[in-house]
A and B are shown apart, each in its own frame.
Chain A
Amino acid sequence: MAELNTDHESHKLGMHTEQLSGRTQQVFFSPSADENFTYPDGIEVDFAKEAEFDAAAMDIRDVNIKIRELMKEGHGTITVRNPSAKHSLGVGILNRLNLNFDGSLGYFGCGLCDGPNIRISGRVGWSCAENMMSGTIVVEKNAGSTFGAAIRGGDLVCKGDVGSRTGIDQKGGTIIVGGRAGAFSGFMMQRGRMIILGDAGKNLGDSMYDGTIFVGGKIEDLGVDAVEGEITETEISWLEAKLALYGMKAPNGVKNLTKIVAGKQLWNYDNLEPSEKKLVL
């Protein structure tokens, strides 16, 4: 075996002493290490520096470019008037920012975000906050289907009703629904938490791998391998604190929320080799 050579070009450049940056890197949390939570090309913004503009006559692309231009000018609080249900607004923001949409968004609003706090005073269409990594998104009215698809972190809140397949493929973070959630909510959920304060449609948590769903209203029926779990004191404290953040309350108190988890009885949870499965089956 050849001897390991430690005389690397990267060492000469001092790169071996550099820390990984970016929130999505696999690094342990350290309150003092602020740089770990900022993208290398992150923009320094001042939350007290406010700006607003009217999007009524603007194209989708121009609205998103305008938001970036204002961020580069240091504006930390931006209000977009008259978004008029246009699609794909407020997407791909990898920065700290207070962003307000004064109106409704269309499909794929606020997707691929990592860090901003976004408030939408109206409704959002399908696939809001898809793949969100961190930050908060609060929708004051209703949301369409696939709300919070594949989110990995942050808080995603809809104070009204949401459509079907809410939190499909959720991998982390918290989704809170003030009203009813449609069918197949939590479908193939992998991690994270979902709180539905109203009723849940059929096939709730179908084929979920992990994660937790709390429901305040009636559940039409559970999906494959979704089972009821026992709510813990820690979860009750967490639920009370989390809902209080957004001024929301469980209809009958958080203690009476129904907790749904993965039964983990599906075939993919056993340790048998395919040949062994044939013997068992």
Chain B
Amino acid sequence: MCGIAGLIHRGSSADIGSQMTSMLQALKHRGPDSTGFALYGSGGSKDYVMRFKVAEQEDLATGFDINDAIKDRLAMVDARLKEMGAKVTKTESVTDYAMRYQLSFDGDLKRVIDYIEDVDGTEILSIGHALELIKDLGDATVVSDQYKLNGFNGTHAIGHTRMATESDVDIRSAHPYWAYPFNDVSVVHNGQLTNYWTKRRGLERQGHRFMSDCDSELIAVYIAHRIDKGDDLHTAMSRSVDELDGVFTYLVATADSLGMAKDVMAAKPMVLYESDDLIALASEEVAIRSIFPHEIDTFDPYEGEVRVWQS
């Protein structure tokens, strides 16, 4: 059991950092292991925002050497960015192991990403013009305070509270997943995929890489793969309902849209609120009600249903 939530403001922006924190905190009972946010800023900048980590939280308890290792890894990341021609315009050390870089770059982004992730212990959580992906151990308020997410202004967001059932309790296995190597695409998922290994092997043979053994990562890679093949988001998601086996409800966000899909058994919950200027979705209505104190009309999407909204 995990909790997922999403919201999208149509034609405006808001403090989505605080809103998503409230929604995910209301879902804490569905998944206390880790919490993740994919926040989409208002965009407009030509610079990329890159969120990455150079160690796991638990690594910090492994001895004195880890601090030196983190410094070495960061120096190596900086050197490799420079070597590839990326110009870092702003750096921010959010935690001892998680960084936020703003950079300008005109070349092959996938090559840069692969080169950076080749540094030991380093994983790029997200890169894009709008997306900023934050995930760590703890509940929503802990992660939000740690990464200073309250006040984050943007148009849309998805988030996840995780109860680990299929893989480890660490940042690598936490959601959301970024759909490498596609900018600004992220996924959160509640459920289990039963044809995970079959599908993963198929995607790996086509050149995609997986950073974890979490079945949810497959959805991100699958959607990225389908978009690469020319599908639009709705088509890619509709195809996933036919091709992915298991019980699942998932949300996908891109630079300007938010989508949801439910498996054909409708075995995982999703409650939806839709108005002219805001759409909010969550595993439970209490999450939506955390940002709407007054009565609202909500409903459950049906089995096999796919919906996509634009910001």
A104 part of interface (Cβ distance < 8 Å)? yes
**Distance between Cα atoms of A228 and B303 in the complex (Å):** 24
Interface string of B231-272 (1 = CB under 8 A from A): 000000000000000000000000000000000111101010
Given A164-B265, A164-B266: A142 and B299 interface contact (C-beta under 8 Å): yes
Q: Contact at A126–B289, with CB atoms within 8 Å?
A: no
B93 part of interface (Cβ distance < 8 Å)? no
B295 part of interface (Cβ distance < 8 Å)? yes
Stretch at the interface among A10-18, A80-88, A131-139, A234-242: A80-88
**Distance between Cα atoms of A125 and B284 in the complex (Å):** 8
Question: Among the listed A56, A122, A141, A183, which residue makes an inter-chain contact with B266, where contact means beta carbons less than 8 Å apart?
Answer: A183
**Distance between Cα atoms of A76 and B68 in the complex (Å):** 70
Given A142-B298, A182-B303, A202-B303: A86 and B286 interface contact (C-beta under 8 Å): yes
Cross-chain pair count, CB within 8 angstroms: 69
The secondary structure that dominates the B interface is: loop
Question: Shortest beta-carbon distance, B5 to chain A, in Å?
Answer: 14
Question: Among the listed B265, B266, B286, B302, which residue makes an inter-chain contact with A87, where contact means beta carbons less than 8 Å apart?
Answer: B286
Which B272-292 residues have C-beta < 8 A from chain A?
284-286, 288-289
Report the contact-size class of chain A (Cβ under 8 Å from the partner). 20 to 34
**Distance between Cα atoms of A161 and B271 in the complex (Å):** 13
**Distance between Cα atoms of A164 and B303 in the complex (Å):** 7
> Which chain B residue lies CB-closest to A142?
B299
Report the count of interface residues on B (CB-CB < 8 A). Answer: 19
B83 part of interface (Cβ distance < 8 Å)? no
Q: Contact at A163–B266, with CB atoms within 8 Å?
A: yes
Q: Contact at A145–B300, with CB atoms within 8 Å?
A: yes
Given A145-B300, A164-B303, A183-B302: A85 and B266 interface contact (C-beta under 8 Å): no
Give chain B residues whose Cβ lies under 8 Å from the Cβ of A144: 269, 271, 300
**Distance between Cα atoms of A122 and B284 in the complex (Å):** 15
Given A142-B299, A161-B299, A163-B300: A183 and B286 interface contact (C-beta under 8 Å): no
A103 part of interface (Cβ distance < 8 Å)? yes
> Which chain B residue lies CB-closest to A103?
B295
Give chain A residues whose Cβ lies under 8 Å from the Cβ of B267: 164
**Distance between Cα atoms of A165 and B303 in the complex (Å):** 11
Give chain B residues whose Cβ lies under 8 Å from the Cβ of A160: 299
Known: A56-B293, A86-B286. 5 other contacts (CB 8 A): A84-B293, A104-B289, A125-B271, A125-B285, A180-B302
Residue numbers of A with Cβ under 8 A of B are 56, 84-87, 103-104, 106-107, 122-123, 125-126, 141-142, 144-145, 160-161, 163-165, 180, 182-184, 201-202
